[in-house]
């Protein structure tokens, strides 16, 4: 029995569709692939994005900026001079892109305009730091990526 061109084309198309469907089904049902979003409530976070933009603008037009330095004890966050340390409130979020289980938040408790993040909480590698603080009714935001 001979296979003509029409039958060969139909067999090739069916084989191609089967091949593609196999990979689609395999990838959607596989638990090995990690399909997590960066944030759990992505759309809720998007609604507050304008607040972040305003806070970032406030930090960028401030007279002096936050400085982040690596020290033997850990990571030192140095706030600009001129702030009354007792009136600064906020949170420092550390995000590890490679492993969400390492992410953590620290409340801002200043001593001498400095906040120390202990060395034992930071593994070597890339960290995204987001420092959100409020002083005198004004909100500020500083974002930075570092390699520790």
We report the CATH number of the domain holding residue 90 as 2.60.40.10
CA atoms within 13 A on the CB side of 74: 13
User: DSSP assignment, residue 102?
Assistant: G
Three-class SS of residue 90?
strand
Same domain, 16 and 49: no
Tell me what pLDDT residue 76 has.
Answer: 87
Same domain, 15 and 73: no
Tell me what pLDDT residue 13 has.
Answer: 98
Tell me what pLDDT residue 18 has.
Answer: 98
Q: Distance (Å, rounded) from C-alpha 138 to C-alpha 142?
A: 14
Q: Look over the chain and give the mean of its residue pLDDT values, rounded to a whole number.
A: 85
Same domain, 108 and 72: yes
pLDDT higher than 70, residue 34:
no
Query: How many CB atoms lie under 10 A from the CB of residue 147?
Result: 8
The set of residues, in sequence order, having a beta carbon less than 8 Å from that of 60 and lying 6+ positions away, is none
């Amino acid at each position: 029995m001979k296979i003509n061109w029409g039958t060969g084309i139909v067999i090739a198309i069916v084989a191609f569709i089967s091949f593609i469907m196999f990979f689609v089904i395999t990838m959607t049902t596989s638990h090995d692939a990690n399909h997590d979003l960066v944030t759990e409530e992505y759309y809720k976070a998007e609604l507050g994005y304008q607040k972040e933009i305003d806070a970032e603008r406030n930090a960028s037009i401030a007279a002096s900026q936050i400085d982040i330095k690596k020290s033997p004890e850990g990571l030192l966050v140095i706030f600009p001079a001129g702030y009354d340390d007792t009136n600064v409130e906020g949170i420092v979020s550390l995000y590890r892109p490679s492993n969400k289980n390492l992410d953590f938040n620290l409340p801002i408790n200043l001593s001498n305009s400095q906040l120390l993040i202990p060395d034992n909480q930071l593994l070597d590698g890339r960290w995204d730091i987001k420092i959100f603080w409020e002083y005198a009714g004004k909100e500020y935001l500083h974002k930075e990526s570092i390699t520790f």
